[in-house]
Chain A
Amino acid sequence: MAAVRTSGERTTNRLAIVLVLIITMIFLAPIYWIASTAFKPRNLATTIPPTVIFTPEISPFVKLFTKRSQLRAAPTPEEYEAAPWWERLVFDGGEKVVRSGRGEVQLSGYPSRFMNSLIVAITSTVLAVGMGTFTAYGFSRFKVKGEQDLLFFILSTRMLPPVVVAIPMFLMYRAVGLNDTHLGLIILYTAFNLSFAVWLMKGFIDEIPKEYEEAALVDGYTRMQAFFKIVIPEAATGIAATAVFCFITAWNEYAFALIMTNRRAQTAPPFIPSQVGSGLPDWTVIASGTLLFLLPVAIFTFLLRNHLLRGMSFGAIRK
C-alpha cells in the first residue's frame, strides 16, 4: 500500500526502529557473550575488561567433544623399589602411577548427553501435544460431565512447584527402575507438559468454528476423519505454538534431570554445569556447550515461525 506519510510519522517510525534495535541488543547481549566466549582462547575468556577483538578458534569445541586423561599404569618393579616406604604402601593398595608426557583422548560425555536431550524432548513433546490435542478437542466439542472440575484438576497439576515432588518421585522411580532411563524422563516431561498442552489447545480449538466439522459431517465424513482433515490443519498454528512451548520446557528442564539421571539418560542441562568441576573452570568449553545447546530450540522455533505468525483463521467464516 502506498500510504502517504507525513514527516512527523516518519520521525516516529524511525524512533520506533531505534528503540526496537536497542531492546533487541539488550536481549541478544547474553547470547553474544556466550557465542563469543565459545570461540575464545581460554586465556582471553575471563579478562577484565572483556576482550572484544580476538582471533576466533574452535578449540573450545574440540575440548567439548573430547576428554583427555593422563595415562596411568601399575608401577614397574624399578619404580616400586625407588619409592619411599610410605609410597609403597599406596602402591600395595592398587594405586597406579602417571606416565608423564603421555595422555589419551576419548570422546567426551557431551554428544551422548545432547542426544539424550533430543530424544527426551522430542518424544515428550510429540506425546504431550498429541494427547493434549485429542483431550482439548474432547473438552471443546463434547459435553463432558464435570468439565470445569476436570479442567481445573488438569490445571492444578501445574500449581505445585515441581521440585516439591522431586524426592518422592525419585524414590518411586528408583522403586520401579525408571531412574536414569529415557522412558522415565519422557513420562515425567509428558505429564508435566500435558496440562499446559490441553489448556492451550483447548483455546485454539474453541476458536475453530464447529460448522467446519459439521460441513465435513454432512459431506460424508466420520468425526474422526473430520478431526484429521479439518480440525488438525485449522489448528496447525496452535499445535505449532504448543509444541514450541512444550519442547522448550522439556529441553531446558534441569532439576528433575539432575535428580533422576546421572549417566545413561542424563540430558545436557545437568551435564554442562558439571563440567565446571573443581578448580579453575574452563569457561570456553562451557560456553561452547551452551551455544550448541541453544541451537535446537532456535532451529525448531525458526522452522515453525510461519505457523506461529500466521493468523488463526483467515476470514473464510463470515460472522
Chain B
Amino acid sequence: MAQIDIQNVQKFFGHLQVLKNLNLTIADGEFVVMLGQSGGGKTTALRAIAGLESVTSGKILINGTEVQDRKAADRDIAFVFQSFSLYPHMTVRENIAFPLRAVRMKATERDKAVNEVAGILQIAEHLNRKPSALSGGDMQRVAIARALVRRPQALLMDEPLGVLDAKLREQMRAEIKRLHIARGSTSVYVTHDQIEAMSLADRIVILHDGVLQQVGAPDEIYLHPTNLFVAKFVGSPVMNINGVRIDGNGVTLSGADASFSFPDDALASVRGTAADLTLGVRPEAVLLQHQQTEGYIEVQTTNIEPLGSHDIVDIGLGEAVLRARTESGFISGEGQRVWARLDPAQAHFFDTATGLNLRGAN
C-alpha cells in the first residue's frame, strides 16, 4: 500500500489543457473519490496515475518515488475499467491469474492467490466460465479480483459501476466499501455520481475543467462548498442559487418582493464587499411554517414533488423561486400561503464573478 503524490501536473491534448496544475496527496490506505462532470479531467488524472496517459509536466510520486516517466507495468498499480475489460478469450480463472503470470509466479502460489481473491469476492463458482457467461455484477467482481490479486500499491477505479443498473450499483457500492475496509488498499475512484462519491469516499476531490475545485471529507464538501461549482454540483436536489442584494440585515433575492432578515454575524463576511453576491441555500435550509411567525416572510407554494420520505416544495416570492425540503405531506397543495425563513447557518454567500464562497472554509 502506498501514498500517492500528484505535484503540479499539467496535461495537454494538443492545444486542449485537460489538467491544470493539479496538486493532490492521497494518503496510504485512503479512499479518494474524484468527482466531476464528464470532460472535467478526472479520468485523465486517474489514467496519469496509472501510467496509461503521460503528463505534459509535473510529477507523480508513489511512495516517494517519481513514476511519471515509468511504464504502467512498472508502477505496481491496478486499474478497474468502466467496461471491465475482461479478456473474452480467457476463463475467469485465467483472467484473474493474468497479472500473476506477468511476474512469473509459481503455478501453485498463483492458484492459491486466485482462489483466495475469488473467495473474497464470491466468484469461486464462476472460475471456469468465460466472462461472457457472467452477469454484470459478477463481471465487475472479476474485474476487481483481477485488480486485487496482485496486492498492488494502489487500486484505481474508473467509473467501475457506471454500466450497472441502479439496484446492482447500490449493492456493488456497498461491496466495494466493505472490501476497502477489509483490505485497506489505497484507492482512487472516479465517478460522476455524487451519491457514490459521498458514500464511498474518505475524501472527495472535485475536478472541473481540469482544475481542482475542492478536496475534503464528504460532509465538508456538502456543508462548506468552496465555490459555486461545488455548491451546485453536490447535493440532490441541487442547492438554491439566487442573486441577492443586502440592505442592513435584510437579504433580498433578486426578483423577490420581500427580504429575509439575517443576524449580524451571519452577514459579517459579506459586509463591505462591492461584489455582486449570490446566495446558496440547500433545500433543507429553507424552513417553512403554516402560521405567520416572527422572522418568517410570506410566500406562495407553486409546485410539490412528493418523494416518499420527504417532499420538495417550490415556493415563489415575487419572481424568485426557492425549493424547500419538508417532511412528506407538510404542504398539501400548490397555491398555498405559507411562511418561510432561511437558516443563516446554512446560507452561503458567493462572489458572483469569481464564484468563491465568501465565508471561506468556516
Contact = CB atoms under 8 A, between A and B. Distances in A.
B89 interface: yes
Given A219-B146, A319-B163, A234 B84 contact: no
A108 to B, nearest CB: 46
A318 B132 contact: no
Interface string A221-239: 1100100001001101000
Interface string A206-227: 0001011011111111100100
Interface centre among A211, A215, A217, A314 (most CB of B within 10 A): A215
B135 to A, nearest CB: 11
Nearest to A222: B73
A225 B104 CA distance: 13
A212 B73 contact: no
Interface stretch (B74-82, B110-118, B232-240): B74-82
Given A314-B132, A316-B132, A318-B136, A218 B50 contact: yes
Contact of A209 (B51, B85, B132): B85
B72 to A, nearest CB: 4
Nearest to B136: A318
A236 B79 CA distance: 26
A233 B95 CA distance: 14
Contacts of A161: none
Contact of A318 (B50, B71, B83): B83
Nearest to A220: B102
Given A215-B79, A314-B88, A319-B163, A220 B103 contact: yes
Interface in A283-319: 313-319
B73 A218 contact: yes
A317 B73 contact: no
Given A217-B71, A218-B52, A220-B73, A315 B88 contact: yes
Nearest to B80: A215
B87 interface: yes
Nearest to B133: A315
Contact of B77 (A218, A221, A222): A218
B73 A217 contact: yes
Contacts of B163: 318-319
Contacts of B75: 218
A300 B329 CA distance: 75
Interface in A39-77: none
Contact of A212 (B78, B87, B139): B87
Nearest to B102: A220
Contacts of B72: 214, 217-218
Interface in A219-264: 219-222, 225, 230, 233-234, 236
B85 A211 contact: yes
A236 B87 CA distance: 13
A318 B161 CA distance: 11
How many chain B residues sit at the interface, stated as a range, is 20 to 34
B2 interface: no
Contacts of A319: 83, 163
A318 B84 contact: yes
Interface residues of A, number: 24
B98 interface: yes
A314 B130 CA distance: 10
Nearest to A217: B72
Contact of B84 (A218, A219, A236, A317): A317
A317 B85 contact: yes
B99 A316 contact: no
Contact of A221 (B73, B85, B131, B136): B73
Contact of B88 (A216, A219, A220, A316): A316
Nearest to A213: B85
A319 B88 CA distance: 14
B33 interface: no
Given A230-B87, A317-B83, A214 B102 contact: no
Interface string B158-173: 0000010000000000
A214 B99 contact: no
Contacts of B267: none
A219 B98 contact: yes
A192 B148 CA distance: 48
B89 A233 contact: yes
Contacts of B150: 219-220
Contacts of A216: 98
A221 B73 CA distance: 6
Interface string B49-85: 0111000000000000000000111010111010111
B102 A234 contact: no
A127 to B, nearest CB: 25
A233 B75 CA distance: 26
A316 B163 CA distance: 12
Contacts of A211: 81, 83, 85
Contact of B79 (A209, A212, A218, A314): A218
Contacts of A220: 73, 99, 102-103, 150
Interface in B244-303: none
A160 B296 CA distance: 86
Contacts of A217: 51-52, 71-73
A210 to B, nearest CB: 9
A4 B355 CA distance: 64
Contacts of B78: 218-219
A222 B50 CA distance: 14
Given A218-B79, A234-B88, A316 B131 contact: yes
B230 interface: no
A225 B99 CA distance: 12
25 contacts: A209-B83, A211-B81, A214-B52, A214-B81, A215-B85, A215-B146, A217-B71, A218-B51, A218-B75, A219-B98, A219-B150, A220-B99, A221-B102, A225-B102, A233-B89, A234-B89, A236-B89, A315-B88, A315-B131, A316-B132, A317-B88, A318-B83, A318-B84, A318-B136, A319-B163
Interface of A: 209, 211-212, 214-222, 225, 230, 233-234, 236, 313-319
Given A211-B81, A215-B81, A319-B83, 4 more contacts: A211-B85, A215-B85, A218-B73, A218-B75
Top 7 closest pairs, chain A to chain B, by CB: A220-B102, A316-B88, A219-B99, A316-B131, A211-B85, A315-B132, A318-B163
